[in-house]
Structure 1
Amino acid sequence: MSGNAQQSTNDQAAEIGLLITRPRGYRFVRSAFLLGRGRAQNAALIARSGAAPGDRVIDIGCGPGDFARATAARVGDTGEVVGRDPSPRMIAYATAHAKLPNCRFELGPAQTLDHPDASFDLVTCTFVMHHIPETQREAALAHMYRVLRPGGRLLLADTHPAGRVLPKLIRTMSRFAAHHTGDAAGQHADPLAAIDIRRYREPLSAAGFRSIEFETVPPLAGVLLATK
């Protein structure tokens, strides 16, 4: 990669976050990591979100669209799900596989939501927050709060590994990724702290959210639930 191209990539990462650009590869790795239980994980998260028929939902960092499509099935024909992701390849893949008329996808990062105030009943953001630049996370949470109607719900989720093997595996994968991308700082950061969704309790409260609760959702997710 040329110096200019590398600088452009670094600037983009600083502005909108890490882009995952290979949908099929992402789905394969995620399925392997979850031991084929990805659908069960999605179903459990959707159940905990409280998504109900007729709800209007935005899924932030939707990736290839699996979670958004499953949520669309839950809210039914009278509801709607908008999947949003900053990766053009993810949005192209998700749109090509959008089989439900109440599910659509749009390009854009979490920190620049342009939807009207109070336009959604539910905001979901699963396995995404650590991809958003740290300097932009408060802005992302503020937008999530803004677009929710009063009484609307937020579900934030990320990996919450238990036992002895999975934490070691995540640390190993993180060191490999940091070395591969030349991220020297990343090689010294604790990846488990980076993905611990509980770190957003105080930022959520500062953004205006209430009734903030943490729980684990099998097989591998930690969840923060909050209400506007």
Structure 2
Amino acid sequence: MLDNLTKLTYQTFQQSKNYFGLAHKILSSQLRNLVHPTVVQMSNASPEVIVKLQNRLNQLLEADWQDAQKQIYPQSLLFDNSWEDFFRYYPMLCLDLPQMWERITQNRYQDFSPETYQEGYPNYYLQNFHHQTDGYLSDLSANLYDLQVEILFGGAANPMRRRILAPLKHGLQKFQGLPPRQLRILDVACGTGATLKLIRAAMPQASLFGTDLSPAYLRKANQLLCQNPGELPQLLQANAEELPYLDNYFHAVTSVFLFHELPASVRQTVIEQCFRVTKPGGVLIICDSIQMNDSPDLADMMDGFPKMFHEPYYRHYIADDLVERLEKVGFQDIEIQVHFLSKYFIAYKKEG
């Protein structure tokens, strides 16, 4: 009876986040029509697609619940939400909308404020991804990012992130003879630390590492991860094309929502780097957007996504063969999973 009540509470909690995301989209659309009526809108999804999306969401939430029941991660993660950040940053998100709409109407996709430091970054990274003010290079962007992603996915971002935890723990079983603190896990492009926070909850004694190009996002990650019990992950500013670690160092490497924001050649380089730093027998887990061959029924939505949210490399990504890329560098036993709007590649490096 208690489990049923808890499950109902979880479903209600997730549904409330979904409703909030919908309410925000309606509000922002009405405000946009008043301020910038010429901003292009993405075509409405058909009723059939909406039903399919709702079914996919329900399946995701059921998988999330079941993994918590299997004790892959604590049940408390199901209800984890930073309400303090929400009340602090949601007004700022609304205030930032006019600047975002201005960039959309003027097709300004590499627009940064004068005080934003841009030296040393690859050109492909200097983008207003999602039309964000200052791209990934300001504290404002870092503070708003998680809220924006939750709204985009209707509250399903963390349930999608948590789908890496079961294959991660499974992939590390071959190293179970090691003391837990000797297990080393790297999260590439860790952003605000959301994925590392989940990994820490599931594996409280593992040694965690994270890299990201953005100092602002790493500052935000430190703020987030300092709130959790356990050893603080070691965070470094680094380009995923040149990971600053020894060969064969990590038992597992993860990357969440990175690859659709990389040009094709860079995707290959990052995979090569992930292979290099993974120990023989170790596992790489990539979580990213679904691709066209997974969901042809969502083709219209995927076609509209890169323009609506300024994702300049997305169209190539959704047709890219990441399995071929993984096999090319030596990964094997590649498993693919799809949950809601995300796709997962689980790949192993051959043991010596």
Shorter chain as normaliser: what TM range? 0.7 to 0.9
Q: How does 1:1-228 map to 2 (within 5 A)?
A: 12-14=121-123, 20-21=136-137, 22-50=141-169, 54=180, 55-77=183-205, 79-99=206-226, 100-160=230-290, 162=295, 167-178=299-310, 186=312, 191-195=314-318, 199-216=321-338, 218-228=339-349
Give the Cα separation in 2 of the matches to 1:101 and 1:157.
25
Name the larger-Rg structure.
Answer: 2
CA contact (8 A) 1:95 1:104 kept: no
CA contact (8 A) 2:242 2:273 kept: yes
Give the Cα separation in 1 of the matches to 2:242 and 2:259.
14
Q: How much has 1:62 moved relative to structure 2? A: 0.7
CA contact (8 A) 1:122 1:154 kept: yes
CA contact (8 A) 2:124 2:263 kept: yes
CA contact (8 A) 2:186 2:210 kept: yes
Q: How much has 1:195 moved relative to structure 2? A: 4.0
CA contact (8 A) 1:17 1:132 kept: no
Structure 1 gaps, min length 5: none
Q: What is the RMSD computed on CA atoms of the aligned residues?
A: 3.0
Q: Deviations over 1:109-136 (max 9, x none)?
A: 1110111111111100111012233332
Q: Deviations over 1:157-189 (max 9, x none)?
A: 21127585x6544433421444xxxx9xx4xx7
Distance 1:39 1:16, change over 3 A: closer
Give the Cα separation in 1 of the matches to 2:232 and 2:271.
25
Distance 1:97 1:111, change over 3 A: same
Distance 1:135 1:9, change over 3 A: farther
Q: Deviations over 1:168-217 (max 9, x none)?
A: 44433421444xxxx9xx4xx7x454246x6211111111111112121x
More strand per residue: 1 or 2?
1
Work out which structure has the larger RCO, using CA pairs closer than 8 Å and 6 or more positions apart in sequence.
1
Give the Cα separation in 1 of the matches to 2:332 and 2:316.
23
Give the Cα separation in 2 of the matches to 1:10 and 1:133.
20
Give the Cα separation in 2 of the matches to 1:209 and 1:134.
18
Give the Cα separation in 2 of the matches to 1:35 and 1:199.
28
Distance 1:91 1:117, change over 3 A: same
Q: How much has 1:46 moved relative to structure 2? A: 1.5
Structure 2 gaps, min length 5: 1-109, 128-134
**Paired letter, 1:24:** N
Length, aligned pairs only: 212
Distance 1:64 1:176, change over 3 A: same
